[in-house]
Structure 1
Amino acid sequence: VFAQQDSINFIHAIPVDIQSNSIIVEWQTPEEVLSGVYYTMEGKNSSNFMVASAPVRNHTYHIPAFYPSQLIYVLPFQFIGSDTLWGDTLVLMSRSASSGKIRVYFTRPVDPNVATGPQAIYLPGTAADTVIKLIHQAKKSIDLAIYNMNIDGIAYALNQAKERGVRVRVIYDGSTTNSSIYVLQGVPMLASPTSSSYGIMHNKFMVIDCDTDNPNDAILFTGSMNFTSTQVTEDANNILIIQDKSLALAYRIEFEEMWGGSGSQPNSSASRFGPYKKNNTPHYFNVGGIPIESWFSPSDGVNSKIIAAINSSNTSLFIPTNLITRDDLANAIAKRRQNEVLCRVVVDNDASCSDQVVAILTEALGTNFRETTESGILHHKVLIADALQTDSNPVVLTGSHNWSNNAETRNDENTLILYDADIANLYYQEFSQRFKQSRAIAPNPVLDLGPDISVCAGQKVLLDAGTGFSSYSWSNGSTASQIIVDTSGIGLGNITISCTVNNVYGTQTDQITITFFACTGIEDNYTKNHLLIYPNPCREFFRIQLPPDAKPQFIEIYNIQGQMVMQQTTRLVGNSLEINVSELNPGIYIVRVLAGNKVYVVRLLKQ
């Protein structure tokens, strides 16, 4: 609408109040400057402008609207010396005359115990009936953009709408089966392009009757649910049905950008998908008094909006989302936790997240980073900020946009951000139940028995597989987490011991070879029996265990050159003693214990 000028663009103007007869636009500057705005109305070729009477830092402009749901284009500018600096063109829409009623539904059970207002509604396998009912109510138009559809009942309802004179237009993903698309009869359809430069058409929205005279006919249906049987009956999804003409018209603009125009038939030569789309829709709405933001991918930079929503959390941040593969999102969550925000994240499974994201969130959130244990898929793409503190402007972000690179840069996606405490609590009721039906994400089992070692004959070696596994299976038949190996039944020579561990994430096996040999040179008069040190190998500490009647007087540690590197006079507590060797370099050492008239000698590996 307005041509951008060849100058630096740094003006961040936003609408702060949207009414049916006016929109207030504001921005700030670090210094006092003279500013103004150009604005024009939909369908008007001429533009109007306003210029401030004096330089200011806080710039406020009241843009008139002549009727509800009017599309208005605003271009802010400011003067710096002899230069004119231009902002981005704002695409705005005045408040509609619709009721603004918002209905929220979920396809899995919710937790009513955390409700602070209305109880969240669970649709037990009946979400498709809700869709069909909306289609049956349509009077003039239905625009459907859906990633996947295999519920024939929805296709039959669309056919019936077409037969009674409703204009029906359907866009679907060209790379997905979409079996119910072939049930449609005489309905104009457009498959998204599938060449390598495009991603998937992943939208899930339906616009109904945004073009009738009655503003309450206009309906936007959106959320995370595809029109498939498993999405309706098994998977965890959320649905929004919003009665608002302005928001519905914005979604129609997005639809017609992909459709290639406003006609009944698609125009593939003019249509734009994926990275070729433009940022050309209104983003800010007043829906029945509730501020709502609308963003589309990949044109609108939705990832930055997700980060902004994360950063807005002051007390709590709850995220049920199918996957996270972007490090910047994980880092943003981790920083909120560092700022003492309660953060809980549930994904479908850890394998759907990148390794780096798993590492970041496991370290930052501990057991509050979880994966679902329920059947079906956790298919949400939801963020709930400050649901537990209603005076902190609670936020809900939802839509089709997975938290991935493809969603940000290639896929066609839709996202809504709603600022309302009651809606936040509805989503929190659903999240609470998903959190209960989840388990903490831990790394796949990691077993390390240490390097192969050589020890003196008669020495006992403690092998420790570690804790946190559900089962242990040693090659000697033991099922304990630790075993003791000595020369009993073995004699001098080598023995290889293996262990297999399991947990809910998988299985791992490791082995170690122990060489027993006759020790000579440092101490010939040593006692071969009844001395145990563990763990061996060790890192910072090891413990010595002696027979109950042993009374050690001192402990000496020698390197393999025979030089004493540590001596300690000690009293035994019970019959065991812990020794700190954190300052010793890694290597092989000989531990010599003098106890009465006996000398105990053990070889130690320091890692």
Structure 2
Amino acid sequence: MSKPPLRNWWQNISKLLLLLSLLFAGCKPKIPEITPLEPLPQDPFIQVYFNASEASSYTEPYRQITRLGDNLEAVIIEEINQAQTSIDIAVQEFRLPQLAQALATQAKAGVKIRIILENTYSRPWIDFTPREIAQFDPDNQNRYREFVKLADINQDGQLSEEEINQRDALVILRNAQIPVIDDTADGSKGSGLMHHKFVVIDNSRLIVGSANFTTSGIHGDFYNPDSRGNANHLLTIQSRELSEQFTQEFNILWGEGNSGILDPEFGLQKPLRSAESLVVGNTPVSVQFSPTSGSELWTNSANGLIGKTLKTAQNTVDMALYVFSEQPLANILHIQHQNGVQLRALIDRTFAYRYYSEGLDMLGLAIARQCKTEPDNRPWRAKITTVGTPNLPIGDKLHHKFAIIDQKTVITGSQNWSKAANHKNDETVLILTNPTVAAHFDREFQRLYRSANLTLPERISEQIARQQKECPQIEAQTDNPIRGKLVNLNTATQAELEALPGIGETLAQRIIAFRQQQPFTSLEDLDRVSGIGPSLLRKLDGRVTW
């Protein structure tokens, strides 16, 4: 039998390869179509946006990935483009080129623009020397790598001057001669953190939320195509009265007063201001700016405002928090839990199980350091199982700082639920009571919670087991060890109460009578006991618990 011609052999092989390629093509998983949920109605004065919203989709401007979510950068740009007279921005970090270009365009049109940044992030990347870059910590190394990927438009491995001018946001602002200061403008080395995330437009419109103006904070990381950015949100609010509150905060930071001489004030240099309450449309709103000195009553601080709001809960509190380490807030939630309020909490995985996390308290656990617990630690005896971490792509963080109370009240802003945020940082806490607004936050919480990890990680279980072996006796600490043991207002004897400064027999009896009617849940409750005023409250602050 004669062999087939070589040409026929190649034809047969080609047909076979074509058949196999078609077969494998048919086996490839189809890319699922993006089908957003039905959008929720928005309040006419207050709109809410989430970068992982399941009710919208967009194509990212830098990675060109089509994904679910609201384009938060586009939301900001749309508001910026409508500015007529002024734009004030206070944000921890600003790295978004398209947003910078929009500001440059408005500056050229004559709009007055002022920007305040955190000093750690106020230098353009291109200003760093190779030696400085080599000495970056791992976090800043990753930030720099992300910038190079963002700026290298033609992907040739080199950054040209044209690419830098198009993609380094701070260079764009500098070239547009837009004034930028940071929290060293007051002559210090910087406040705790200039942690604000707000924009005021024409003194009448406001953008505020949890997002920094970075690719990782809004869109996603270049080195992980699955990244969708840190879980963040923004609100746009039309209200001259509320905008004026933020303009006042901005002017204090900027240093613009009636004298005409710039005198910036950051951190604890700022004047103490209490929470302000107003109405936006039909929405009751409260706003407070941090920090508050530790010498002031905690109840008068921004975390104190959060605590007061948590105490109003009748049925539910759902929390999505980057950090939760403020003990008094955990104590208030404990009382609410005992009163039948249903609690759920999601905390970012990098902070959820650290020794100072109040998530551990809620789980009835304590992690010691050198056989000592964190100051005034109070693990719950009636622990809950609805505390965990969200299941996010590698590198993405739960960056929200929000809580939803009874499906109608929202706590939000830049302020993490921590002592540092409360007493050191420039921060915002915003409280809004509006079921329409709350529904958006509820949808985001449900999205995160349905795939959350509610089981204690094995490494934490092992750490606690080792601790039990190594620390047969764990010592409790207090924030003020020289003051001695804290006195529990709800359980203290008459004699223990009388040992407190300024509390004699009569006041001790009144405290006991008060708690029999209603347990103490905060230092503020003491003010309702006849004979106890602001001066005595200051003496008792740090000496009592509840």
Does structure 1 residue 219 correspond to structure 2 residue 233?
A: no
More helix, by proportion: 2
Paired residue secondary structure (1:416):
strand
Match for residue 147 of structure 1 among 92, 95, 102: 92
Residues 295 and 442 of structure 1: CA distance in aligned 2, closer, same or farther (over 3 Å): same
Does structure 1 residue 247 correspond to structure 2 residue 251?
A: no
Residues 315 and 153 of structure 1: CA distance in aligned 2, closer, same or farther (over 3 Å): same
More strand, by proportion: 1
Q: Could you say which residue in structure 1 is the equivalent of 2:50?
A: 106
Q: Could you say which residue in structure 2 is the equivalent of 1:327?
A: 327
Q: Could you say which residue in structure 2 is the equivalent of 1:235?
A: 230
Residues 358 and 318 of structure 1: CA distance in aligned 2, closer, same or farther (over 3 Å): closer
Match for residue 448 of structure 2 among 417, 420, 434: 434
Measured after TM superposition, the shift of residue 422 of structure 1 is: 1.6
Paired residue secondary structure (2:385):
helix
Structure 2 unpaired stretches of 5+: 1-42, 57-66, 125-168, 220-228, 293-299, 365-379, 470-546
For residues 175 and 446 of structure 1, what CA distance do their matches in structure 2 show?
32
Alignment of 1:164-563 (within 5 A): 164-176=109-121, 179=124, 180-184=169-173, 185-193=176-184, 195=188, 198-210=191-203, 218-233=204-219, 234-261=229-256, 270-280=263-273, 283-299=276-292, 301-349=301-349, 351-352=351-352, 354-356=354-356, 357-363=358-364, 364=380, 365-375=383-393, 376-387=396-407, 394-442=408-456, 444-445=458-459
Deviations 1:29-58 (A, max 9, x none): xxxxxxxxxxxxxxxxxxxxxxxxxxxxxx
> Share of identical aligned residues, percent?
27
Larger relative contact order, structure 1 or 2 (CA cutoff 8 Å, min sep 6)? 2
Contact 2:122/2:182 (<8 A) preserved:
no
Contact 2:352/2:359 (<8 A) preserved:
no
Paired residue secondary structure (2:329):
helix
Contact 1:331/1:360 (<8 A) preserved:
no
Contact 2:91/2:197 (<8 A) preserved:
yes
Measured after TM superposition, the shift of residue 281 of structure 1 is: 7.4
Deviations 1:546-601 (A, max 9, x none): xxxxxxxxxxxxxxxxxxxxxxxxxxxxxxxxxxxxxxxxxxxxxxxxxxxxxxxx
Measured after TM superposition, the shift of residue 355 of structure 1 is: 2.0
Measured after TM superposition, the shift of residue 111 of structure 1 is: 8.4
Alignment of 1:35-184 (within 5 A): 101-110=45-54, 124=69, 126-176=71-121, 179=124, 180-184=169-173
Measured after TM superposition, the shift of residue 444 of structure 1 is: 4.7
Measured after TM superposition, the shift of residue 205 of structure 1 is: 0.3
Contact 1:445/1:507 (<8 A) preserved:
no
Contact 2:55/2:68 (<8 A) preserved:
no
Aligned residue-pair number? 333
Paired residue secondary structure (2:363):
helix
Contact 1:362/1:442 (<8 A) preserved:
no
Contact 1:253/1:281 (<8 A) preserved:
no
Residues 186 and 353 of structure 1: CA distance in aligned 2, closer, same or farther (over 3 Å): farther
Measured after TM superposition, the shift of residue 312 of structure 1 is: 1.0
State which structure, 1 or 2, has the greater radius of gyration over its C-alpha atoms. Answer: 1
Measured after TM superposition, the shift of residue 358 of structure 1 is: 3.5
Contact 1:142/1:207 (<8 A) preserved:
yes
TM-score by length of 2: 0.57
Paired residue secondary structure (2:362):
helix
Contact 1:173/1:200 (<8 A) preserved:
yes
Note the aligned Cα RMSD (angstroms): 3.0
Measured after TM superposition, the shift of residue 510 of structure 1 is: 13
For residues 262 and 241 of structure 1, what CA distance do their matches in structure 2 show?
27
Paired residue secondary structure (2:449):
helix
